[in-house]
Amino acid sequence: MKTKISFMTLTILILTTLSLAEKIKPLKKPQKNTVSVENKTSGSPEVTTGNFQYGTPFQAKELVTKAAFFMKHHDLNEAFSAFRDKSSDYFVKDLYIFVFDMDGNMLCHGKDEDLIGRNLIDLKDSKGKLFVKDFINIMERKKSGWVEYYWRNYETQEIEQKLTYLKKITNNIFIGCGAYYTKR
């Protein structure tokens, strides 16, 4: 009896799987101005648009993890210098590192030195979202997290939607890196 139940269960499982497989629609291919290649580090596509490649959210998280490790083993000045050095490992495609304190002060920014030293707690994106406050709210509750907002893409000079990964370094400092949503 036990063999018949196992065989019957296996048969039902196979038929259910085949039935579900028929219902799954194939993914659409990327459209104009994009070329997809397999990204071995994140398992998601890298996208080339124009003369540069967009980094992925997975690569942004990977970059934050790497930067967090560096910050824990070096003094802040050395870390900030590395994060601003465009020839360093902390620039990947259009990705860069930024560092805030819990009061909303920009301590380091890989692409825009004019932001360094400014308090950005009341900064709104193009949709009116107080995203720096969102950063801080997440860092008060968790050690890491994601925030979506709109920000100028330094490569295209256009306002684009961005998904940013944040990681708390100390009680008062957190770092982040965001990936723009690509136009497909």
18 vs 175, higher pLDDT? 175
Q: For position 33, what pLDDT does the model report?
A: 31
For 89-123, the pLDDT digits (tens) are 999 988 999 999 999 999 999 999 999 999 999 99
Q: For position 52, what pLDDT does the model report?
A: 52
32 vs 165, higher pLDDT? 165
Task: Compute the average pLDDT of residues 178-182.
Answer: 87
pTM for the full model?
Answer: 0.71
For residues 99 and 107, the answer to whether their CB atoms sit within 8 Å is yes
Decide if pLDDT at 49 tops 50. Answer: no
Q: At what angle do helices 57-73 and 76-84 cross, to 10 degrees?
A: 150
Confidence of residue 184 (pLDDT cuts 50, 70, 90): very low
How many secondary structure helices (H) and strands (E) does the chain include? 4, 8
Cα distance between residue 149 and residue 167, in whole Å: 17
Instruction: Tell me which amino acid residue 83 is.
Output: F
For 29-47, the pLDDT digits (tens) are 333 333 333 333 233 334 4
Decide if pLDDT at 146 tops 90. Answer: yes
51 vs 158, higher pLDDT? 158
Q: Which fold has domain 35-180?
A: Beta-Lactamase (3.30.450)
Q: For position 119, what pLDDT does the model report?
A: 98
Phi then psi dihedrals of residue 55, to 5 deg:
-80, 160
Q: For position 116, what pLDDT does the model report?
A: 97
Q: Where are the domains of the chain?
A: 35-180
Q: For position 174, what pLDDT does the model report?
A: 98
Q: What is the mean pLDDT of the chain?
A: 79
